């Protein structure tokens, strides 16, 4: 039986562990936090996935050696913990490493697969992304995602081992596009949440999602991605689900900010909000590559400079007129 090791016992890690078990793999879940492990071992249930029982035959441990000798190792920790987690695996037989965190590394502004590659040179690395709320994957709600790797054989193996009747996996060779889409959609989701908190309407949300997609594609292409990737699952697909769903922490966080809750208080209420951290990094990347990203810029001004959300919306609506289509691709 093939072995799957999942590093991280948040909602997404648990959901992917359960999916791996349903696909017939031997599954070990690891967490750095002993108290969290003991609670999960005792209750077989996470507060992040209420009402969902973790199968008894999924091992839960804080002994990292139990994750050794895997065929696939999933890194399911927040983006800020990816490098530290990867560094712990230097002496391990990880098999293919699958990163499911969405974001960029603070400081270096690197894509997370590059961060893992620096810590674990020579390993086969796959990125998994797409519209996939953990709450639904854990309940076996039909879901489609995409995996991407510079090693097509590795991506194909992950597709083969983790795809099932309720969890469909596509492959895509554009690693940069898949990672950029997954990171920037978090920023736009925060902006959509702010818009929702302001209670302005569906028209506004539709415009924000559409123009947010244009910003995503602009930066992605500047970073070397294929623009077509952003019309796929890791771009448009993930953007829709994150901007529209109550399951999205980015959306919930933005909603609180839009209603006037101070940023720090909103963060403490929601927990880890990847879009908050990504907003600052994406602004720096936009400056580095000379890309116009007005929604991201206004989101940054609200989150980091204390700007009024309504004023930020007004700034977006009163920008000078321009053509919708700047290239042969209308949505850019």
Q: Which of 173, 203, 231 is the last residue of a domain?
A: 173
**Domains of the chain: total:** 2
Q: Does any domain span residue 46?
A: yes
Q: Are residues 238 and 303 in the same domain?
A: yes
- The reply to whether 71 and 26 lie within a common domain is yes
Residues 25 and 145 in one domain: yes
pLDDT at residue number 328 = 55
Residue-level pLDDT at 245: 85
Instruction: Give the CATH number for residue 268.
Output: 1.10.1040.10
* Residue where a domain stops, chosen among 173, 208, 226: 173
User: What is the pLDDT at residue 246?
Assistant: 77
Is residue 38 assigned to a domain? yes
- 281 and 312, same structural domain? yes
Confirm whether 328 is domain-assigned. Answer: no
**What is the chain's mean pLDDT, rounded?**
95
Residue 195 and residue 299 in one domain: yes
Host domain of residue 103: 3-173
Q: Are residue 169 and residue 181 in the same domain, yes or no? A: no
280 pLDDT tier (thresholds 50, 70, 90): very high
How does pLDDT run across 213-269, given as a tens digit for each residue? Answer: 999 999 999 999 999 999 999 999 999 999 988 788 999 999 999 999 999 999 999
Name every residue whose Cβ is closer than 8 Å to that of residue 317 and which is 6 or more positions away in sequence: none
- For residue 20, the domain's CATH number is 3.40.50.720
Q: Give domain status of residue 121, yes or no.
A: yes
Same domain (yes/no): 181, 163? no
Give the Cα separation of 163 and 146 in Å (integer): 11
Mean pLDDT of 288-316: 97
pLDDT at 44 over 90: yes
Instruction: Provide the pLDDT for residue 272.
Output: 87
41 domain-assigned: yes
| 126 pLDDT above the threshold of 90 | yes
Q: Looking at the structure, tell me whether residues 93 and 233 fall in a common domain.
A: no
Question: What percentage of the chain exceeds 70 in pLDDT?
Answer: 98
**pLDDT top residue among 88 and 331:** 88
Give the model's pLDDT for residue 192: 95
Q: Is residue 271 over pLDDT 90?
A: no
Out of 173, 189, 209, a domain closes at 173
Residue at 287 is within a domain: yes
- Do 164 and 153 share a domain, yes or no? yes
| DSSP tag of 320 | P
Tell whether 33 and 152 lie within a shared domain. Answer: yes
User: Within this chain, do residues 140 and 197 fall inside the same structural domain, yes or no?
Assistant: no
pLDDT of residue 146: 98
Q: Say if residues 33 and 63 touch (Cβ distance below 8 Å).
A: no
For residues 127-136, average pLDDT:
96
Give residue 329's pLDDT. 57
Cβ–Cβ under 8 Å, residues 190 and 266: no
> Is the same domain home to 183 and 144?
no
How large is the C-alpha radius of gyration of the chain?
19
The whole-model pTM stands at 0.94
User: Residues 185, 259, 264, 288: which is the catalytic one?
Assistant: 185
- 58-117 pLDDT tens trace: 999 999 999 999 999 999 999 999 999 999 999 999 999 999 999 999 999 999 999 999
- Compute CA distances 158 → 20, 87, 161, 176, 297, whole Å: 10, 22, 5, 18, 37
Q: Active-site residue 185, yes or no?
A: yes
Low-confidence winner among 167-176, 257-266, 323-332 (lowest mean pLDDT): 323-332
Residue 325 lies in a domain: no
pLDDT at 182 exceeding the cut of 90: yes
């Amino acid at each position: 039986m093939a072995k799957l090791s999942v590093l991280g016992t948040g909602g997404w890690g648990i959901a992917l562990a359960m999916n791996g078990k349903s696909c017939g793999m031997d599954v070990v879940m690891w967490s750095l936090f002993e108290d969290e492990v003991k609670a999960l071992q005792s209750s077989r249930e996470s507060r992040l996935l209420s009402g969902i029982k973790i199968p008894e035959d999924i091992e839960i441990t804080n002994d990292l050696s139990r994750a050794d000798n895997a065929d696939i190792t999933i890194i399911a920790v927040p983006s800020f913990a990816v490098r530290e987690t990867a560094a712990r695996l230097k002496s391990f037989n990880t098999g293919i490493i699958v990163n499911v965190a969405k974001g960029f590394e603070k400081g270096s502004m690197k894509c997370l697969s590059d961060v893992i590659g620096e810590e674990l040179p020579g390993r086969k690395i796959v990125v998994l992304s797409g519209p996939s709320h953990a709450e639904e994957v854990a309940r076996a709600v039909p879901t489609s995602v995409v995996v991407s790797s510079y090693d097509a054989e590795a991506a194909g193996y992950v597709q083969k081992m983790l795809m099932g009747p309720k969890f469909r996996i596509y492959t895509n060779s554009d690693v940069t596009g898949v990672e950029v889409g997954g990171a920037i959609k978090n920023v736009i989701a925060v902006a959509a949440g702010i818009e929702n908190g302001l209670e302005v309407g569906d028209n506004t949300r539709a415009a924000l999602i559409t123009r947010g997609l244009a910003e995503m594609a602009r930066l992605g292409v500047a970073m070397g991605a294929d623009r077509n990737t952003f019309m796929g699952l890791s771009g448009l697909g993930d953007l829709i689900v994150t901007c529209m769903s109550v399951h999205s922490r980015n959306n919930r966080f933005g909603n609180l900010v839009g209603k006037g809750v101070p940023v720090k208080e909103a963060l403490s209420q929601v927990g880890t909000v990847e879009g908050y951290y990504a907003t600052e990094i994406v602004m720096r990347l936009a400056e580095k590559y000379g890309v116009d990203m007005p929604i991201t810029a206004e989101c940054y001004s609200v989150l980091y400079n204390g700007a009024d959300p309504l004023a930020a919306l007004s700034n977006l609506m009163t920008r000078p007129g321009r053509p919708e289509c700047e290239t042969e691709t209308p949505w850019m």
